[in-house]
């Protein structure tokens, strides 16, 4: 008799440390994709509407064109350039398309895996 191996999906919870604001929460993988030390949050798993485009453009040689985003939290200073979004993404990297990304190691971010 063989036993079935069950695989648990790991989930990520992304918080703004100072305020406790929940930025994103969902399954690690397609929902929230870790890539190069950053977390790309799918729209379905984004838990805040507090990101605002600050219109500072950026370019990556292989991911292409993005804009920086600031996080606005009531009662706290705005966190400048906390996130970004690729507005002209590389078609070979669908996990970055129009997703808000944040650096997992940013001092204002807490990432909890459960």
The length of the chain is 114
* CATH class of the region 11-113: mainly beta
97 has pLDDT over 60: yes
Q: DSSP assignment, residue 76?
A: S
Q: Where are the domains of the chain?
A: 11-113
Q: Is the dihedral of CA 48, 79, 81, 109 positive or negative?
A: negative
* Distance from C-alpha of 44 to C-alpha of 114, rounded to nearest angstrom: 19
Q: What is the pLDDT of residues 32-84, one digit of tens each?
A: 999 999 999 999 999 999 999 999 999 999 999 999 999 999 999 999 999 99
Q: What percent of the chain has pLDDT over 70?
A: 94
In this prediction the pTM is 0.90
* Distance from C-alpha of 67 to C-alpha of 56, rounded to nearest angstrom: 6
């Amino acid at each position: 008799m063989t036993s079935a191996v069950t695989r648990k999906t790991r989930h990520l919870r992304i918080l703004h440390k100072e305020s406790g604001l929940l930025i994103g929460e969902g399954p690690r993988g397609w929902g929230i994709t870790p890539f190069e030390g950053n977390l790309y949050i799918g729209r379905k798993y984004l838990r805040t509407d507090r990101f605002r485009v600050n219109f500072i453009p950026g370019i990556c040689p292989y991911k292409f064109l993005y804009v920086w985003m600031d996080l606005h939290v009531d009662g706290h200073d705005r966190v400048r350039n906390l996130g970004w979004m690729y507005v002209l993404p590389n078609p070979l990297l669908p996990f970055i398309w129009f997703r808000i990304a944040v650096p997992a190691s940013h001092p204002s971010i807490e990432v909890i895996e459960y």
